[in-house]
Amino acid sequence: MRADGLEAPGRVVLLHSNDLHSRLEQYAKISSIIAEERARFGADRVLVLDVGDHMDRMRKETEGTGGRVNMALLNEAAVDAVTLGNNEGLSWTMETLDELYGVHARFPVVCANMVRESDGGRPSWMHSSVLVRKGGVTFGITGATAAFREFYRELGWRMLDPVEAVAGEVRRLRPAADIVVVLSHLGLPMDRQLAEEIEGIDLILGGHTHHLLEEPLVIGRTTVLAAGKFGGWLGRVEIGRRADGPGFDIRASVVSVDDADECPAAAGLIARGLAEAEAALSRVEAVLSAPLEAFDDRESPLANLLAAALRRHTGAEIGLVNAGQLLGGLPAGSVTTGLLHAICPSPINPCRMTLTGRDIRQALEEALLDDWIRRPIRGFGFRGERLGTLAVDGLTIVYDPDGPPFGKLREVTAEDGPLEDDRPYTVGTIDMFTFGVGYESLKHGTDIRLYLPEFIRDLLAAALADGSFVADARRSRWIALSGGEHLQAGLHEHYNKYIEF
């Protein structure tokens, strides 16, 4: 018998990844490790699973191929099953997912807490659970994804309670399976809850909160595992029948991926995906006669244009957006789809909410302070670096740059008169603010309406094609009374930043 002991019946290596977020080269390395494990132990003894957020539309190849490059990489690695992360489920329409997983994918998707709103059923490519046999061991595999109910409803999905859904699948799988595995794109707190409340789970493979468990977390008879983020690690589990009685031994670890070589076949798929993406993203959306500057620490025309686009799209009285959503300005000339994607990569959706004048005023005061402008933001769809000041439309703001914190505003005027603290206003803004991220008073919004599948870059593209909108974006919304530097950054060309594509 070999020293690894895996030639005996009932011994399997399980490999799991999560939250790749389209770090495609890292998955090419993971593919090499998977191939090595199969060569060492035999394909029948290696089970390969992914726990979601493999795709991220920030990546050019993913955006330009409509996610097909990710499907190709998972196919090349011959994964046995995956679940959906929010970056799959919320970034694409149901029709696009039907094509990706129903036509291109050669593996099943397991997700127990997701059904169509229209009929309560699932598409043919989605399963509540599956049985997979490897090395004489039957694995019952189910999955669940974070239930952003309001967002999914806009895309035609109904989200079920993940604990109840998983519990039902575990009860159904347990009589038929030797090992029950949950692919949990729910986050570590929910993984703990599943382990504590549901009897009969052997393994929970976690994701969503990007946690790296170098040592497994054991809760009762359940082992909880996770492999971090961005393809830096690959989870590895050795599973074998006990020689001294019923049950299985489980030995879990994580393997660093960085020193692995890229699989040549996977690297070729990425190169072809890049060529396809660059062709698709070369479409011209607008032609500018002059540059549109963008800054995150002061007023600028391109950020004004985005605020105006949000206001128009949502039919609101006021538009508000953090300037950190834009990673650069636009030069004169042709503006391509790819350039818009490069400067506005976040999968952020528009929304409309009702806010009091008091909450709006609080956010405007914060937008004049470095502590907020420079605040780093992570997650919630944001793919920039820091929050940035607020860009506005439908307001004129007179302020004293030398005034004290939270005492800089002198006059805030809406189109129908001074901003009133106790009056409700409809505001076109972004879904990120509904989570209390950044300008926290904006989380107090009510009557929230989400707009999916639109991204804010789609609204920007439409606004750039409207000459009157572009001209108005150069008008100052923030007016300094005295001293300091005017926030209208359009006057300061030497600060201009561009991203070339």
Residue 6 has pLDDT above 80, yes or no: no
**Which range among 273-277, 294-298, 433-437, 457-461 shows the weakest confidence by mean pLDDT?**
433-437
Does 281-495 match 11-277 at the fold level? no
What are the sequence ranges of the domains in the chain? 11-277, 281-495
Q: What is the pLDDT of residue 409?
A: 97
Q: Could you read off the pLDDT of 437-449 as tens digits, one per residue?
A: 899 899 999 999 9
Q: Considering only CA atoms, which of 272, 276, 270, 271 is closest in space to residue 64?
A: 276
Q: Which two tokens stand for residue 444?
A: 């107090």
* CB-count burial class (<10 Å; 0-12, 13-18, 19+) for 2: exposed
What angle separates helix 24-41 from helix 264-280, to the nearest 10 degrees? 150
Q: Considering only CA atoms, which of 111, 115, 109 is closest in space to residue 128?
A: 111
Which helix (H) or strand (E) segment holds residue 279: the answer is: helix 264-280
Q: Could you read off the pLDDT of 324-347 as tens digits, one per residue?
A: 999 999 999 999 999 999 999 999
Q: What is the pLDDT of residue 247?
A: 85
Residue 494 has pLDDT above 90, yes or no: no
Residue 495 has pLDDT above 70, yes or no: no
* pLDDT tier, 23 (very low <50, low <70, confident <90, very high otherwise): very high
Matching CATH number, 281-495, of 2.60.120.620, 3.90.780.10, 3.40.50.720, 3.40.50.300: 3.90.780.10
Q: What is the pLDDT of residue 34?
A: 98
Q: What global pTM score does this model have?
A: 0.90
Question: What percent of the chain has pLDDT above 70?
Answer: 94
Handedness of CA 482, 484, 488, 490 (dihedral sign): positive
Q: Could you read off the pLDDT of 374-400 as tens digits, one per residue?
A: 999 988 888 989 999 999 999 999 999
Q: In the sheet where 390-393 sits, what is the strand order?
A: 390-393, 318-322, 424-430, 350-356, 446-450
Q: What are phi and psi of 266, to 5 degrees?
A: -65, -40
Residue 499 has pLDDT above 70, yes or no: no
Q: Which two tokens stand for residue 226?
A: 């996770």
Question: What percent of the chain has pLDDT above 90?
Answer: 90
* pLDDT tier, 485 (very low <50, low <70, confident <90, very high otherwise): very low
Q: Which two tokens stand for residue 494?
A: 């030497």
Q: What is the pLDDT of residue 378?
A: 87
Q: Could you read off the pLDDT of 75-124 as tens digits, one per residue?
A: 999 999 999 999 999 999 999 999 999 999 999 999 999 999 999 999 99
What does the pLDDT average to over 354-366?
Answer: 98
State the chain's mean pLDDT as an integer.
Answer: 93
**Which range among 12-21, 34-43, 179-188, 374-383 shows the weakest confidence by mean pLDDT?**
374-383
Q: Residue 389 and residue 445: Cα distance in Å, rounded?
A: 19
Q: What is the pLDDT of residue 493?
A: 34
Q: Residue 187 and residue 279: Cα distance in Å, rounded?
A: 37
What does the pLDDT average to over 466-492?
Answer: 74
Q: Could you read off the pLDDT of 196-249 as tens digits, one per residue?
A: 999 999 999 999 999 999 999 999 999 999 999 999 999 999 999 887 778 899
State the CATH class of domain 11-277: alpha beta
Peptide bond into 291 cis (omega under 30): no
3-class state of residue 456 by DSSP: helix
Q: What is the pLDDT of residue 381?
A: 85
- Strand ranges (E), 389-485: 390-393, 395-399, 409-414, 417-418, 424-430, 446-450, 478-480
**Which range among 117-131, 283-297, 345-359, 487-501 shows the weakest confidence by mean pLDDT?**
487-501
